[in-house]
Amino acid sequence: MIVVLKKGATKKQIEDVEKRLIELGFKTHPIYGDVKTVIGAIGDKRNINKNKILLMDGVEEIIPIMLPYKLAGKELYKEASVIDVDGVKIGGEQLVVMAGPCAIEGEKEFISVAKKVKQSGASILRGGAYKPRSSPYSFQGLELEGLKIMAAAKKETGLKLVTEVVDTRDVETVDKYVDMLQIGARNMQNFRLLKEVGSGSKPVLLKRGLAATITEWLMAAEYIINEGNEKVILCERGIRTYETATRNTMDISAIPVVKNTSHLPIIADPSHATGHAKYVPQMANAAIAAGADGLIIEVHEDPPNAMSDGEQSLRPNEFGDLMKQLSKIAKAVGRFL
């Protein structure tokens, strides 16, 4: 629920109301506006007598939050959130593009790609150090050595880093090396992992699950925010349907739906959504036109010999061409790269 304070409510009145809500077992989220202050209260409403709160000094009204995702929804946070990834802001007018290979294969190769995607306009470098794969016999990533390679690439290029974390035991280690932690589609409902990254302070890139509804996806974000970490960016990466022409079915409609129901920024992953490099440019353009705040795109210098997902990876020159196209689309929808 949302407790709305009267215009001109004193600091003491606000603190008294928040203190009372905490005593009743609620988690509180005060939002101080220019005219009024509101306090979001998350908890069991059966523990509260609303009339007693209404009679407290400074309280104007109590508004119930109807959506199940109280903290990820728009009812409490009316303004769209802008998430700061070590200086790169996601959710504002400027679109953010993250790019790099699916898996980190070696330092020389990774830094080479990093330099080229930066030259084309990417501001965040992606790369998989830990690779959860469908087959136990597939390449599983370089793990700690991969993280060290990412750090070397950041030192060389200045790009911010994002990589996937797949186990609660790895969160502390990964957190030391990168600027944003990614929760992959397979782990969207790994609630222990969500809580673990939620207890930290690094931004979290939360990918939509393979067959997750938008509500389930936002409830996963709720787990992270409820632990105290409000820096969540959503990522639409396609969902599993009966269609086999593409790897997944990219749900472009999820972008405006999320924009209408949540304050969290959302980016799109056309690489995993389509599974084919030839479709990535069109779906990337479509995502930006639909209102996405950015993209995450796989780029590899030698896709046929990539150790992971080469078929959906753009070559650096193709990525450069795409960035030029995106610039035009961005301008048409009032954004810029």
> First and final CA of the chain: distance in angstroms?
38
Q: What is the pLDDT of residue 337?
A: 93
Residues 14 and 149 in one domain: no
Same domain, 42 and 171: no
Q: Are residues 11 and 143 part of one domain?
A: no
Q: Is residue 77 part of a domain?
A: no
**What's the rounded mean pLDDT across residues 69-95?**
93
Among the listed residues 142, 149, 144, 199, the one whose alpha carbon sits nearest the alpha carbon of residue 173: 144
Instruction: Let me know whether 114 and 148 are in one domain.
Output: yes
Q: Same structural domain for residues 252 and 182?
A: yes
CATH number, domain with residue 157: 3.20.20.70
For residues 308 and 164, which has the higher predicted lDDT (pLDDT)? 164
Domain check: are 33 and 157 in the same one? no
Q: Do the domain assignments include residue 76?
A: no
pLDDT at residue 107, rounded to an integer: 95
Does residue 247 share a domain with residue 142?
yes
144 lies in a domain? yes
H/E stretch holding 40 reads strand 37-42
The span from the CA of 189 to the CA of 184, in Å, is 10
| Banded pLDDT at 133 (limits 50, 70, 90) | low
Q: Is there a contact between 220 and 188 (Cβ–Cβ < 8 Å)? A: yes
Q: Do both 20 and 161 map to the same domain?
A: no
Residue 47 has pLDDT above 90, yes or no: no
Q: Which region among 133-137, 156-160, 209-213 has the lowest average model confidence (pLDDT)? A: 133-137
Note the pLDDT of residue 44: 77
Domain boundary among 63, 94, 112: 63
Percent of the chain with pLDDT over 70: 98
Clarify whether residues 15 and 163 are in a common domain: no
The model's pTM is 0.91
Expressed as residue numbers, the domain containing 17 is: 2-63
Q: Tell me the CATH number at 19.
A: 3.30.70.1140
Is beta strand 96-100 parallel, antiparallel or unpaired with respect to 83-85?
Answer: unpaired
Q: Judge whether 89 lies within some domain.
A: yes
Q: Give the chain's mean pLDDT.
A: 94
Query: For the residues 80-105, what does the mean pLDDT come to?
Result: 96
Spatial neighbors of 115 by CB under 8 A, at least 6 apart, are 156, 157
Instruction: Confirm whether 146 is domain-assigned.
Output: yes
| Per-residue model confidence (pLDDT) at position 138 | 67
Structural domain includes residue 69: no
Task: Looking at the structure, tell me whether residues 205 and 288 fall in a common domain.
Answer: yes
Nearest to 243 by CA among 284, 208, 278, 273: 273
Are residues 259 and 316 located together in one domain of the fold? yes
Check whether residue 30 and residue 135 sit in a common domain: no
pLDDT confidence bin for 139, thresholds 50/70/90: low
Q: How many domains does the chain have?
A: 2
Q: pLDDT value at position 137?
A: 63
In a domain, 74, yes or no: no
pLDDT over 90 for what percent of the chain?
Answer: 80
